[in-house]
Structure 1
Amino acid sequence: MVLVKKYHLPPTALMPNSPNPLLYYPGYFAEQKGLPKTLHQIFDDNGWETQWIYRYGPTQRSHYHATVHECMVVLSGTATIRFGVADLSENMVENTWGTAREAGGIEIKARAGDVFVLPAGTAHKTFDTKPARSFTLLTPGDGHLIPGGDVGAVLEETEQRLEGFTMMGAYPAERRDWNTQRGGEDFGAYQRVWSVPKPALDPVLGHSQEGLFGQWSDYGLSAKL
């Protein structure tokens, strides 16, 4: 049986979060050779599209995506991911390790093989990465699409450069126009964020009731942004 952890994150003054829960599958994929290419095939089979592999730096700004659901899989390293709250300062030390952030939220220690499925609007921030490296997009493109006809071959090449804390991101197929918000941009319009259509299948669990197929409601299924 798959271990699925669910976190219901309420909206805040700056972050919409979602009526549907953040889903976390700890250690679902063991760190292994060929994982990026394997993941890409699984995503594709479930109607999701691989769009990036990033190596993360020591910290980043808290943010959310208002127009798309997201799946992140940890490929290497460890880090802390904070979900559900906004940064309240531009000072990266204060908003990461200090008190310059909204109250609430959760923090998860992420490790290789972990899977996160984020409903649209979910605030997230990755920090305390180990081994420490600089923030780098490892795949070609702009982070919204991996260009070229043979994405699997690109991912095989990218795997050779997986050092530090790296994650692979996927989104429902053909959803490449997603945005990145830092908080407050959609205040008064959270309903629109919550109405992003539910994907037909979970990115890794497919039709399983343990994944979003069974854990998320059909809330806003027919709504359009």
Structure 2
Amino acid sequence: MAHSPSLSILSLVLGLAPTTVALAAPVGAGQPEQLHFADDGVIPNSCLPVLLYRQVPLEGADRAAALERLFADNAWPPQWRYGVYSYHHYHPNAHEVLGVAHGQATLRLGGEQGQDVQVSAGDVVVLPAGTGHRNLESSADFLVVGAYPPDQQDFITQRADPAAHARSVGLIAGVSFPASDPVTGREGALPALWR
């Protein structure tokens, strides 16, 4: 599914996503889209941008294995193959990368007031610690590879809960920056954009 910036702009104009700022700058070849989400008092989100890579070139017929190799080669050891939970959640002690191996989905990023993002096989979403995400709908074959930086593999999955907010904000502040972009490596976008 192709991304439609006009949908993001339309959502902003209609007031459907008041905490979202989409695409701060034009996306160049090989560069990720950047999405920003503010703390809404329930989902902390992050001052760091979500990075969204579209149609990442992958070697071989097994896209899940190719994503696992890509992430491992870039120092984000893969941890699981699954989907995305259908409830709002975030990881207050870990950054996360989601590589879509099969199918397509509509993900809501940033919490209830966030932005709906269409993803399909070959897309990769890099979520800074604290960024809310959930699956709104997906195809029956939707499969994701999840990975985390080496020091963040013992991650907490926190549901949207105002009572957990203050503790989560404290945990997020202690999460270290990854040394490498999970898609493009040490010289990629993440080390430059997440400082």
Question: Does the TM-score normalized on the shorter chain lie above 0.5?
Answer: yes
What is the percentage of aligned positions where both structures have the same residue?
35
Alignment-derived partner of residue 216 in structure 1: 194
The structure that is strand-richer by fraction is: 2
Report how far residue 48 of structure 1 moved: 1.1
Report how far residue 175 of structure 1 moved: 2.7
CA distance, structure 1, for counterparts of residue 177 and residue 69 of structure 2: 21
Report how far residue 39 of structure 1 moved: 2.3
- Residues 180-219 of structure 1 mapped to structure 2, 5 A cutoff: 180-183=157-160, 184-189=162-167, 190-209=169-188, 211-217=189-195
CA distance, structure 2, for counterparts of residue 127 and residue 22 of structure 1: 18
User: Are positions 1:168 and 2:145 aligned together?
Assistant: yes
SS, match of residue 48 in structure 1: coil
Q: Which runs of 5+ in 1 are unaligned?
A: 86-101, 132-163, 218-225
**TM-score of the pair, normalised by structure 2:** 0.77
CA distance, structure 2, for counterparts of residue 26 and residue 173 of structure 1: 24
Alignment-derived partner of residue 97 in structure 2: 71
CA distance, structure 2, for counterparts of residue 32 and residue 74 of structure 1: 15
- Residues 36-115 of structure 1 mapped to structure 2, 5 A cutoff: 36-55=64-83, 60-85=86-111, 102=112, 104-115=113-124
**1:63–1:37 distance in 2 versus 1, CA, 3 Å:** same
Q: Deviations over 1:56-80 (max 9, x none)?
A: 6xx7111000100000000111110
CA distance, structure 1, for counterparts of residue 128 and residue 92 of structure 2: 9
The structure that is helix-richer by fraction is: 2
Once superposed, which parts of structure 1, at least 4 consecutive aligned residues long, lie more than 6 Å away? none
Structure having greater relative contact order (Cα 8 Å, sep ≥ 6): 1
Report how far residue 29 of structure 1 moved: 3.4
CA distance, structure 1, for counterparts of residue 55 and residue 32 of structure 2: 10
What is the root-mean-square deviation of aligned Cα atoms in Å?
1.9
Aligned residues: 165
Greater gyration radius:
1
Report how far residue 208 of structure 1 moved: 2.9
SS, match of residue 188 in structure 1: helix
SS, match of residue 19 in structure 1: strand
Q: Which runs of 5+ in 2 are unaligned?
A: 1-28
**TM-score of the pair, normalised by structure 1:** 0.68
